[in-house]
Amino acid sequence: MALKPLSSLPKTPLKINRALLSVSDKTGLSELAKALHNAGVEIISTGGTAKAIEAEGIPVKDVSEVTGFQECLDGRVKTLHPMVHGGILARTSHEPDVNEIKDLGITPIELVVVNLYPFKDKVAEPDVTAADATEFIDIGGPTMIRAAAKNFAHVSILSSPDHYADFIEELEEKMAISFETRQKLAKTAFAHTADYDSAIANYFTSLIEEEPARQFNTSLPLSQELRYGENPHQKAAVYGSQDDFIDCFHGKQLSYNNYLDVDAALNIISDFDKDEPACAIIKHTIPSGVGVADNLTEAYKKAFSTDRVSPFGGIVVVNQQMDIDTVKAIDEIFTEIIIAPDYSDEALELLQQKKNRRLVRIKKSVREVQASSFRSIFGGLLNQDADLAPANPDDFEIVSKRKPTDQEMKDLLFSWKVVRHIKSNAIVYAKNSRTLGIGSGQTSRVDSSEIAVAKANKEGLDLSGSAIASDAFFPFADGVEAAAKAGAKAVIQPGGSIRDEEVIAKADEYDMAMIFTGKRHFKH
């Protein structure tokens, strides 16, 4: 059967006489129920939702009164009935449908308010079992949402408390809901069920797949439209649940490029334990400097000293509460975004004086939940495990004749944390828990090393006794020789080159300590 064009659907405002409410998340339920009652709408409901409405003194009819059949199977079956779905799916502008439901004793339902069991939250619990998870797979809810969304010409569907306020405003102002509103709500509802089904499919994939899934399922909700993309001529939007991780509570909306930089900042700061004050400065997704010290102010100064030019207009991220002394140090130059787990009152008072500066609070570490990473490519996307697992020094191998000193080992571990957040080819020189020179994104590892040395020299930083980290193996011994001549005394790298023996021999020649990690950290 050919699909009817949209123009053939009735586009008149919809008066709501009867509503079905059955929600897991009861946020805003009281206000919505009161608005419906005041508009003369008959309310049908189920279980806990009905009890919550009754507690507000609002008349409500239990769905079992409509179906003539009591809830069963521990409440899992209550709305799967023709008296419910006939009322939702009836095309009340279509005479045959009107006559049929009249003969069957079915009354139309013009509003469906349903949100679903929190499946994503349940499977995110560390000890959840498959039996527990499957009990959070909603059946009746998605069925009602899809039925109402399909019949949006005759039914309004509210699938999230986020939509209640606008809906109530339109209902109170016009005593009806426009076709345009119903269409938008239907689109959102289908996106909601698609996201829900994708989460379930991906969970089952994680249970049974020992190889990449034959089909990847995803449906991310729109987080917000952005002013533009990387450049003003590009339209852009951000999707997902960024608000779970950050709260941008001061300043303008984050831009497309801001989100990329914030993502880089959150990733690198997750590598540093909260009991050691750490600071990273990000510019164009790359750290320009990183420092760890006894307090945040000194950590910031260490990070800033690596490159005193790039931080202008950049991002500062720290892993402890932002204090006033650190803020005063940061405030000496223009910093576009500051990110911290929290802020002292004094720090906020100073920072909020500049309206165009964004302040971001970290709500959750990306390391807690970011198991995968995705990148779009021609015709689809790439998926891989996220490279966020902490390094394990027990897996390291000392391959040089000389073992690193305690201080050198500390510097090696620090530089290894940083280098995996640098674009390949990546080189990091570090000493005393601070970066001295960073080289990134070059087609030659030697070029990256030369850039790192040049940056250190430009800032007057002494590389003598420093540690050098390389995200991948040194293919030739000349890279280690150049590092030694620059002043490095310790090297950390994955190893694995066919010339490893030559590279190790060169390290021994210069009395350098060298560690093989056995793990590469390419970041393309």
Q: For residue 134, which phi and psi values (nearest 5 degrees)?
A: -65, -25
Please give the sequence-ordered ranges of beta strands (E in DSSP) within 293-363, or none if there are none.
315-318, 337-340, 358-362
Query: Is-contact 423 524, C-beta < 8 A?
Result: yes
User: Where do the DSSP E strands lie in 105-181?
Assistant: 111-115, 156-158
DSSP readout, 187-220?
A: HHHHHHHHHHHHHHHHHHHHHH-SS--SS----P
Would you say 291 and 330 are in contact if contact means Cβ atoms under 8 Å apart? no
233 in catalytic set: no
HEC assignment per residue over 319-330: CCCECHHHHHHH
What sign results for the dihedral spanned by CA atoms 47, 52, 55, 57? negative
Which residues, other chains included, contact 278 with Cβ-Cβ below 8 Å and sequence gap of 6+? 269, 272, 290, 291, 292, 299, 318, 319, 320
The label of the residue with tokens 């959750």 reads 364
CB of 278 closer than 8 Å to CB of 272:
yes
Secondary element (H or E) of residue 265: helix 256-269
Select which of 11, 61, 150, 410 is catalytic. Answer: 150
Question: What does the DSSP 8-state code read for residue 162?
Answer: G
CB 259 within 8 A of CB 245: no
Bridge pairing between strands 315-318 and 337-340: parallel
- Name the 3-class secondary structure at 276: coil
Residue type, position 138, single letter: D
Task: Decide: 282 and 288 in contact? Cβ < 8 Å.
Answer: yes
User: Is 150 noted as a catalytic residue in this protein?
Assistant: yes
What long-range pairs does 45-48 form, CB within 8 A, spacing at least 24? 45/20, 45/21, 46/22, 46/71, 46/78, 46/79, 47/22, 47/71, 47/75, 47/78
Structure tokens at 44: 């049908």
Residue among 11, 61, 284, 410 flagged as catalytic: 284
Cis peptide before 202 (omega within 30 of 0): no
End-to-end CA distance of the chain: 49
Cα gap 322→344, rounded to integer Å: 6
CA distance 448 to 454: 10
Q: Which residues are catalytic?
A: 150, 284
